[in-house]
């Protein structure tokens, strides 16, 4: 490795950086900062940082494609670190999959006691000087992410946990990733703030994914770390609201990924809107993709003429 309404709405290019989660579902933003008032709107683009994505080496060759059932074989040691305002973030390991999803184990050292959120997620952007933890790709893309911590393994001086992220395309993850700390110092003359970034980390391994189709134009891509769904709805003239996403396993059991009527029942950590109108769901635990026999998507298709219930059944592509 080199260094408001019910359901889920599919948007077109206007929702490139985030999605609108409703009914209590997780809002996927481009950073791990505390959700602010009005965060049920798409996250704003962060200003471009010319230093981001300029360090490290460009990929010399295509990454090795790893069997999707072997997450451990695709997990790479990293060790890159960045310091900011008394905090040090170290990315310990990284694993990515073909669908554009990833998982990074991290250690955050410093006065971190105030950063422990009650929900097991980092509480950044509070009274502490550390405002946010974000990611960038080599092309300055902003992956959506959720930062969790392990309460049992963490101390008041060091938090260990996992950053789950969705870069929203395969090219974005294999091109290279970096992590940023955003901070402020209220005691600095005139106020002070800054951004510090790790070097660019280029994965040399990528977990494979399975491809599914409804037999027509709709497709699904399922990797061990997430699921991306694309309907045949024209995003310029219509929208699709996801109400229920389910994986059907070969043993006859079901795994609910997203349920708008009961968000707590879904296994997805976050949902993202992609520029092609598809939506994606990051999964907290690796899924045995070979055990999935079909995928169903239930929802509503919205158009200028009204609303119509619709569903899709995806089976493995030939």
Q: What is the pLDDT of residues 135-185, one digit of tens each?
A: 999 999 999 999 999 999 999 999 999 999 999 888 999 999 999 999 887
- Gap between the Cα atoms of 122 and 135, Å rounded: 15
pLDDT tens for 38-74 read: 333 333 333 333 333 334 444 557 899 999 999 999 9
Taking the CA atoms of residue 228, residue 258, residue 141 and residue 198 in that order, the dihedral angle to the nearest 10 degrees is -120
The greatest distance separating any two alpha carbons of the chain, rounded to the nearest whole angstrom, comes to: 64
Q: Is the pLDDT of residue 30 over 80?
A: no
Q: Please say if the pLDDT value at position 199 is more than 90.
A: yes
CA distance 163 to 108: 11
* Sign of the torsion formed by the C-alpha atoms of 269, 138, 176 and 110: negative
Q: Taking the alpha carbons of 77, 176, 225, 48 in that order, is the dihedral positive or negative?
A: positive
The CATH T-level fold of domain 210-316 is Immunoglobulin-like (2.60.40)
pLDDT digits (tens, 9 = 90+) for 71-107: 999 999 999 999 998 899 999 999 999 999 999 999 9
pLDDT at 47: 36
- pTM of the entire predicted model: 0.82
pLDDT at residue 240, as a whole number? 84
Calculate the CA dihedral of residues 244, 248, 252, 258 and round it to 10 degrees: -30
Domain 27-207 bears CATH identifier 3.40.50: no
Distance CA 134, CA 30 (A): 6
Of 196 and 303, the one with more pLDDT: 196
Q: How many CA atoms lie within 13 A of 41 on its CB side?
A: 5
Tell me the pLDDT of the chain averaged across its residues: 81
**Structure-token pair, residue 152:** 């049992």
Q: Among 57-61, 101-105, 216-220, 253-257, name the one with the lowest average pLDDT.
A: 57-61
Domain boundaries, the chain: 27-207, 210-316
- Residue 186: its pLDDT value, please? 65
Query: Which of the pair, 266 or 30, is modelled with greater confidence?
Result: 266
- Of 4-8, 76-80, 115-119, 226-230, the poorest mean pLDDT is in 4-8
- Judge if 27-207 and 210-316 fold alike in CATH terms: yes
What whole-number percentage of the chain has pLDDT above 70? Answer: 76
Helix, strand, coil percent content, the chain, rounded in steps of 5: 5, 45, 45
- Highest-scoring range by mean pLDDT, 15-24, 51-60, 69-78, 259-268: 69-78
- Structure confidence by residue, pLDDT tens digits, 97-134: 999 999 999 999 999 988 888 889 998 876 667 889 99
């Amino acid at each position: 490795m080199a260094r408001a309404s019910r359901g889920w709405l599919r948007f077109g290019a206007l929702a490139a950086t985030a999605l609108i989660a409703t009914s209590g579902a997780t809002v996927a933003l481009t950073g791990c900062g505390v959700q602010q008032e009005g965060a049920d709107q798409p996250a704003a683009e962060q200003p471009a940082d010319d230093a981001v994505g300029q360090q490290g080496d460009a990929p010399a060759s295509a990454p090795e494609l790893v069997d999707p059932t072997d997450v451990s074989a695709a997990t790479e040691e990293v060790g890159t670190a960045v310091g900011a305002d008394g905090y040090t973030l170290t990315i310990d390991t990284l694993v990515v999959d073909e669908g554009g999803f990833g998982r990074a184990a991290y250690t955050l050292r410093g006065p971190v006691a105030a950063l422990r959120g009650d929900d097991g997620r980092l509480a950044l952007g509070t009274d502490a000087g550390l405002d946010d933890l974000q990611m960038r790709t080599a092309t300055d893309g902003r992956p959506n992410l959720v930062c969790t911590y392990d309460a049992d393994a963490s101390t008041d001086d060091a938090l260990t946990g996992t950053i789950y992220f969705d870069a929203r395309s395969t090219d974005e993850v294999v091109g290279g990733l970096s992590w940023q700390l955003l901070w402020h110092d209220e005691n600095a003359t005139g106020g002070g703030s800054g951004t510090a970034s790790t070097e660019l980390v280029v994965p040399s391994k990528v977990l494979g994914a399975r491809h599914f189709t409804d037999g027509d134009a709709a497709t699904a891509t399922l990797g061990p770390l997430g699921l991306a769904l694309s309907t045949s709805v024209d995003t310029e003239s219509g929208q699709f609201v996801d109400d229920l996403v389910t994986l059907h396993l070969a043993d006859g059991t079901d795994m609910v990924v997203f349920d708008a009527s009961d968000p707590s029942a879904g296994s997805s950590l976050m949902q993202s809107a992609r520029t092609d109108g598809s939506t994606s769901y990051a999964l907290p635990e690796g899924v045995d993709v070979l055990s999935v026999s079909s995928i169903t998507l239930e929802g509503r298709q919205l158009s200028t003429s009204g609303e119509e219930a619709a569903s899709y059944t995806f089976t493995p592509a030939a």
